[in-house]
Amino acid sequence: NSMLSWQRTAFHFQPEKNWMNDPNGPLFYKGWYHFFYQYNPDAAVWGNIVWGHAVSKDLIHWLHLPLAMVADQWYDINGVWTGSATILPDGKIVMLYTGSTNESVQVQNLAYPADHNDPLLIEWVKYSSNPVLVPPPGIGIKDFRDPTTAWYTSEGKWRITIGSKVGKTGIALIYDTVDFINYELRNQVLHGVPGTGMWECVDFYPVSIYDRNGLETSANGPEVKHVVKASLDDDRHDYYALGTYDDKNATWYPDIPEIDVGIGLRYDYGIFYASKTFYDQHRGRRVLWGWIGESDSEAADVKKGWASLQGIPRTVAFDTKSGSNLLQWPVEEVENLRLRSKEFKNVEVKPGSVVPLDLEAATQLDIFAEFEIDKNVLENIAETDEEFSCSTSNGAAHHSALGPFGLLVLADESLAEQTPVYFYVTKGFNGTLKTFFCTDQTRSSVANDVNKQIYGNFVPVLEGEKFTLRTLVDHSIIESFAQGGRTCITSRVYPTRAIYGAAKLFLFNNAIETNVTASLKIWQMNSAFIRPYPNIR
């Protein structure tokens, strides 16, 4: 449908057509990044799930390969669901995934490459005695899914975790194994949080507390914190917490119980779900993949013949400066798509004003922006007890002393369509500044059948820091990273006027009391090559 074809992205991973959801089994092997994903080969809606497969040299340009696994056994005939890869010390790969059986029971299955000498890992073999795990006593037959990458215990065994729930408490079950065939269920869960419901796609990994280098999944010790992430089926967001892992007792506890898994921090305050990290041994980093669904109507997805993207893979590391959160940042390879750039230095944006940025086009961009508020204003402004939240405020149209200010992305000339990505600063009674980072979709499209929420959350801004943001724009996706990736917001938007050459970028400042000075560097982004691998099957 040519009406909707502009929504197709130019440098985000998508299959050629139909439905995609979770990232599965990402890994680097013999020179190639492998990406598998939940895929419906028959339609642009969820169903008939199999594993799609693609390879890349740089996580940006992709070659589609034949389906890696299809639903052809009693133990996965209702779906080859989400799973993870483990690379063994001898270099061999094992894949664990959830199968939905002929009776829709969730079981765990083992698969491995038919030929470890094939760098493309085209053929996959399912273990002859699958399933290797069935729901244990007390666990619902539909509450047992998405095994993680295995890590090594001090006892010399492999350990995995699998998401589940008991009543309304989301939990991560723990299994130990030596051969990936026989498993021992541990009495204690890795972790559980009351009220959070089913935990899908649990992830568990170490981060260095000293630097931004990635750590192999089995790394442990005093220089390490561990992240637990769960995708909450009930509210469709990915929550993480930092904490301490106790190898001996196979359990984990959060640094700050008030911001435990599912009740505290999110990877992303927009649309971002069922994510999964892997350790990239090629570049020594941990890379995060996240599924970005559509936020238009299902009817529109069927019409255009496809649904969902994957976000630009992000490196993820502990924020050694704030000490309270992770940092996420688009993998540096995306910068190879940068074409011409344009700089805007110290642009004065007066209270209540909108400033157009003169660009040749504004649909494929990498934007880096820094904002400063007048220091005297900051010092002299009255303190308030304002309880701000992005989603309950009046969005970017709000007028307050110190904000909002930021960008109007994918806007048309008349501003009938615009997606503001912005900061909002408050000064509390104790004199401390608090900053929020938001994306307002209320005017993102004149169409009615699309999500128009206002996304966002608090972002730590440390002493001496400017307000900084990076935003990637790719036709129908806007991914924004504030303060180096402390708070991230991904948004799918469906403008009807702000498309192709009619899409523009503006600065805006709705603060009443302060000028804002903005400096930007903006790159036009090339399209990535994402196409079938030539001459395969």
Instruction: Please identify, using beta-carbon distances, which residue of 236 and 350 lies nearer to ligand FRU.
Output: 236
- Binders of ligand FRU in range 288-307 (CB under 6 A): none
Instruction: Please identify, using beta-carbon distances, which residue of 104 and 394 lies nearer to ligand FRU.
Output: 104
Residue 22 designated active-site: yes
Closest distance of CB 240 from ligand FRU, Å: 16
- Binders of ligand FRU in range 58-87 (CB under 6 A): 81-82
CA distances in angstroms from 96 to 32, 147, 363, 451, listed in the order given: 20, 6, 39, 35
Check whether the bond before 136 is cis (ω within 30° of 0): no
51 binds ligand FRU (CB under 6 A): no
Rounded Cα distance between 168 and 164, Å, is 10
- Binders of ligand FRU in range 477-536 (CB under 6 A): none
Instruction: Please identify, using beta-carbon distances, which residue of 143 and 366 lies nearer to ligand FRU.
Output: 143
Name the residue with tokens 């890696």. 68
Show the DSSP H helices in 169-321 as ranges: 298-304
Instruction: Please identify, using beta-carbon distances, which residue of 57 and 142 lies nearer to ligand FRU.
Output: 142
Q: What is the per-residue binding string for ligand FRU in 260-289, x denoting contact by CB under 6 A?
A: --------------x---------------
238 binds ligand FRU (CB under 6 A): no
CA distances in angstroms from 348 to 397, 410, 413, 417, 520, listed in the order given: 19, 21, 20, 24, 12
21 binds ligand FRU (CB under 6 A): yes
Instruction: Please identify, using beta-carbon distances, which residue of 145 and 492 lies nearer to ligand FRU.
Output: 145
201 binds ligand FRU (CB under 6 A): yes
Rounded Cα distance between 36 and 466, Å, is 39
Task: Check 22, 143, 260, 268 and give the catalytic one.
Answer: 22
Radius of gyration of the chain (CA): 23
E-only strand ranges, 382-442: 402-411, 419-427, 433-440
Which two tokens mark 441?
A: 């979709």
Contacts of 407 (CB under 8 A, 6+ apart): 367, 369, 420, 421, 422, 469, 471, 505, 506, 507, 508
Instruction: Please identify, using beta-carbon distances, which residue of 192 and 290 lies nearer to ligand FRU.
Output: 290
Closest distance of CB 316 from ligand FRU, Å: 19
E-only strand ranges, 114-152: 124-126, 151-152
- Binders of ligand FRU in range 139-158 (CB under 6 A): 145-146
101 binds ligand FRU (CB under 6 A): no
Q: What is the per-residue binding string for ligand FRU in 158-177, x denoting contact by CB under 6 A?
A: --------------------
Kindly list the catalytic residues: 22
In the complex, the residues that contact ligand FRU under the rule CB under 6 A are 21-22, 38, 49, 81-82, 98, 145-146, 200-201, 274
